[in-house]
Structure 1
Amino acid sequence: MNISALLFFLLFNGIIALVSWKKLFREKSKTSEEYFLGKRNLGFVLVGSLLFLTNINGVQFIGENESVYTNNMTVMAWGLTSVFAMIIVSEFFMPIYLRGGFITTPDFLEERFDSSTKTIVSIIFLISYLVNMLPTVLYGGAVVFNGIFDFSEIIGISNWSMLCILTCVFGLIGATYTLLGGIRVVAVSDSLLGIGLLIGGLSLPYFGLKVLGSGSLQEGLRIILSSNTSHLNAIGKSTDAIPFSTLFTGMILVNLNYWGMEQFIVQRTLSSRNLAESQKGIALAALGKLFAPLIINLPGIIAVHLYPRIANTAEVFPKLAGDVLPPILVGLVASVIFGATITAFNAGLNSSSTLFVMNIYKPYLQKKSQTSTINDYQLVRIGKRFQLFATLIALCIAPFIYFAKGGFYTYLQMVGGAFSVPIFMVIFIGFITKKLPAIAVKIGLFFFVICYVASQLLFDTGIHYLHVLAILFVLTSCIMLIIGRLFPQAEAYRPKENSGIDIQPWKERHYFHLILLVLMVLVFILFSTLGIAS
Structure 2
Amino acid sequence: MEHQISNIDLIVIGVYFIAVMAIGLYVARGTKTGEDLFLGGRSFGWALIGFSLFASNISTSTIIGLSGAAYKSGIVQSVYEWMTGIPLIIAALIFIPLYLKSKITTIPEFLELRFDRRSRMIFSTITIITSILVDTAGGLYAGAIVLQAFFPGLIIWQTCLILAVVAGLYTAFGGLKAVVYTDTIQAIILIMGCSILSYMLFEKLDFSWDNVLASTPEGHLSIVRPLDDPSLPWPGLIMAVPILGFWYWTTNQYIVQRVLGAKNIKNARWGVILASFLKIIPLFIMVIPGTMAISLFPGLEKADQVFPTAVMQVLPVGLVGLVLAGLISAIMSSVDSTLNSASTLVVVDFVKTLKPDITDKETINYGRITTVVLMAVAAIWAPFIVDFGGIWDYLQEMFGIIVPPIAVIFLVGVFYKRGNGDGAFWTLVLGTIGGILFFTLRQFDIWPMHFTIDVGIMTIISALLFIIISNITPAPDPETIKIYTYNKSLLQNEEKIVWYKDYRYHIVLLLICIGILLTKFW
Match among 235, 238, 242 for residue 224 of structure 2: 235
Partner of 1:380: 364
Letter in 2 for 1:469: V
Match among 506, 510, 513 for residue 507 of structure 2: 513
Letter in 2 for 1:360: F
Partner of 1:253: 243
Match among 395, 416, 419 for residue 436 of structure 1: 419
- Unaligned residue ranges in structure 1 (runs of 5+): 153-161, 367-372, 529-534
Larger mean Cα displacement after TM superposition, 132-141 or 450-459: 450-459
Q: TM-score, normalized by length of structure 1?
A: 0.89
1:166 maps onto 2:149 in alignment: no
Q: Distance in 2 between matches of 1:254 and 1:490?
A: 28
Change over 3 Å in CA distance of 1:422–1:399 after alignment to 2? farther
Partner of 1:175: 168
1:2 maps onto 2:11 in alignment: no
Partner of 2:460: 474
Change over 3 Å in CA distance of 1:407–1:524 after alignment to 2? farther
Letter in 2 for 1:278: A
Question: How much does 1:406 deviate?
Answer: 4.9
Partner of 1:190: 183
Question: How much does 1:224 deviate?
Answer: 1.6
Question: How much does 1:404 deviate?
Answer: 4.6
Partner of 2:373: 389
Partner of 1:370: none
Note the alpha carbon deviations across 1:284-323, whole angstroms, 9 max, x for none: 1111111221122123212322333333322322222122
Letter in 2 for 1:418: I
Q: Distance in 2 between matches of 1:496 and 1:350?
A: 31
Determine if contact 1:74/1:235 at 8 Å carries over to the other structure: yes
Partner of 1:157: none
Partner of 2:324: 334
Partner of 2:55: 53
Question: How much does 1:490 deviate?
Answer: 5.6
Partner of 1:76: 78
Letter in 2 for 1:9: I
Partner of 1:532: none
Larger mean Cα displacement after TM superposition, 120-129 or 292-301: 292-301
Note the alpha carbon deviations across 1:419-452, whole angstroms, 9 max, x for none: 2332222222331233333222222112111121
- Unaligned residue ranges in structure 2 (runs of 5+): 485-491
Change over 3 Å in CA distance of 1:378–1:260 after alignment to 2? same
Change over 3 Å in CA distance of 1:173–1:336 after alignment to 2? same
Letter in 2 for 1:101: K
1:13 maps onto 2:7 in alignment: no
Q: Secondary structure at the match of 1:218?
A: coil
Partner of 2:488: none
Q: Secondary structure at the match of 2:107?
A: coil
Q: Percent identity?
A: 26
Change over 3 Å in CA distance of 1:172–1:429 after alignment to 2? same
Q: TM-score, normalized by length of structure 2?
A: 0.91
Letter in 2 for 1:232: L
Question: How much does 1:79 deviate?
Answer: 0.9
Change over 3 Å in CA distance of 1:289–1:302 after alignment to 2? same
Change over 3 Å in CA distance of 1:15–1:383 after alignment to 2? closer
Note the alpha carbon deviations across 1:300-358, whole angstroms, 9 max, x for none: 21232233333332232222212211121111111111122111111101111111111
Q: Distance in 2 between matches of 1:130 and 1:16?
A: 22
Determine if contact 1:5/1:331 at 8 Å carries over to the other structure: yes
Q: Distance in 1 between matches of 2:472 and 2:256?
A: 34
Give the RMSD, CA atoms, in angstroms.
2.2
Equivalent residue runs for 1:353-372 within 5 Å: 353-366=343-356
Question: How much does 1:403 deviate?
Answer: 4.7
Letter in 2 for 1:334: L
1:225 maps onto 2:213 in alignment: yes
Determine if contact 2:21/2:166 at 8 Å carries over to the other structure: no
Letter in 1 for 2:223: A
Q: Distance in 1 between matches of 2:451 and 2:479?
A: 34
Determine if contact 2:70/2:287 at 8 Å carries over to the other structure: yes
Give every structure 1 segment of 4 or more consecutive aligned residues whose post-TM-superposition deviation is greater than 4 Å.
403-408
Match among 362, 386, 397 for residue 414 of structure 1: 397
Partner of 1:449: 432
Equivalent residue runs for 1:80-119 within 5 Å: 80-119=82-121
Partner of 1:63: 65
Q: Distance in 1 between matches of 2:494 and 2:17?
A: 38
Q: Distance in 1 between matches of 2:202 and 2:390?
A: 30
Larger mean Cα displacement after TM superposition, 42-51 or 425-434: 425-434
Question: How much does 1:463 deviate?
Answer: 1.5
Equivalent residue runs for 1:194-343 within 5 Å: 194-211=187-204, 213=205, 217-218=206-207, 221-230=209-218, 231-240=220-229, 241-343=231-333
Q: Distance in 1 between matches of 2:391 and 2:517?
A: 28
Q: Distance in 1 between matches of 2:476 and 2:253?
A: 31
Determine if contact 1:112/1:493 at 8 Å carries over to the other structure: no
Determine if contact 1:250/1:467 at 8 Å carries over to the other structure: yes
Q: Secondary structure at the match of 2:182?
A: helix
Question: How much does 1:148 deviate?
Answer: 2.7
Q: Secondary structure at the match of 2:477?
A: coil
Determine if contact 2:107/2:251 at 8 Å carries over to the other structure: yes
